A and B are shown apart, each in its own frame.
Chain A
Amino acid sequence: MTAEQAIFAIAGPICVIAAANAVLRRDPLTAALSLTVTLFSLAVLFLGLGAPFLAGVQIAVYAGAIMVLLIFVIMLLGVSHVEMPRLRRPALQLAGPLIAVALFGVLAAAILRGGLPPASGDTADGSVDALADLLFGRYTFAFEAASVLLLAALVAAVVVARKRSTEHEWPGRR
């Protein structure tokens, strides 16, 4: 058993269980915490896959920033937003799992039928240097575009969440 196999064997199940927990819990806070576990276990898997820097980013940015923000909002809005315990719109509650099973089934079938190009024997240089070369070389434009995207998202978030001082009378139909 290689290290990678060991990592997969441990982190994989944790990841799935946490993910399932995140999806099944009615309480968003618990779900968020479960998701964080998933994120951590994914970071471990990334390590096993030879992408240590990404693992770091996953923990720092994803788990660290995004999830914190999410949890902050959950707390901000109060715990009262726990979903109602009763089963609502049962058709949809049934459709969810069904879709998931179908989705996984189809995807698994596709994956298991193989046909992928052969794996390259060597391993890539996963160092930060190499990453930086790519990021500021081939992917410069994407990088810049992503920065514009973040700016746009910022503005969008501000605009939509900003509290209006004066509610304008809307001239449309109610």
Chain B
Amino acid sequence: MTAGAGVKLLTEDGRRLDGRALNELRRCRIEAGVLKNADGSAYIELGRNKIIVAVYGPREVHPRHEALPDRMLLRCRYSMLPFSVAEERKSPAPTRREVEISKVIREALEPAIFLEEFPRTSVDVYIEVIEADGSTRVASITAAAVALADAGIPMRDLVAGVSIGKIEGKLAVDLSGIEDQHGEGDMPIAMMPRLGEVTLMQADGRFTREEVAQALRMAREAILKLYEEQKRALKERYSKVLAAELGEEQ
């Protein structure tokens, strides 16, 4: 992210390039249970972002010496497919960016999981970005929480995330790729929606203390909307599963 010399991100009536208001999320659609092999899975489209998440576990830890005596081992791998980026093909080897994001996503999900309930097991969360258009890490978290629930992992709450950006001096919800590239700052935030606790928070760019407080409020509001879509997706999934179990066609 570099300061956006010359690229106008807001129209004269205060709308963003894609017509959104500053506090407006892009269209978000989540589907749970999209894969057969995974124990849980979810697919999210947030604007043009397309991300698929699979969850395996709880299962025996492999390699064994990584098992934890008092709790579940959660592992996350966030990766971008080579053709998911707007720029030239990305090498398939994990970048430093992907390594860091995998870590912060794991730490964003852990607060919501009853890790102590399955000691000596692992749960693996695999995230593949098929198409990227800004805010992929938070969209990944939103989908991963649904995939964990789909896998039946006991959780104290879901987790959903949104990025708060700064464009032309104003805070804006859910940065798109071009806003991330030319904006003045990016602050990805994830929360447990019901509990209202922050499980991921990062930032680059420059923000005043007041802007940080405001960003937290804007994030909360957006996250509650994402939470509705998460619940809808899980409800739909459960009704399909139930229908299938009752012998109907799914």
Report if A and B associate in a common complex: no
Q: Which residues of B does A touch, CB under 8 Å? A: none
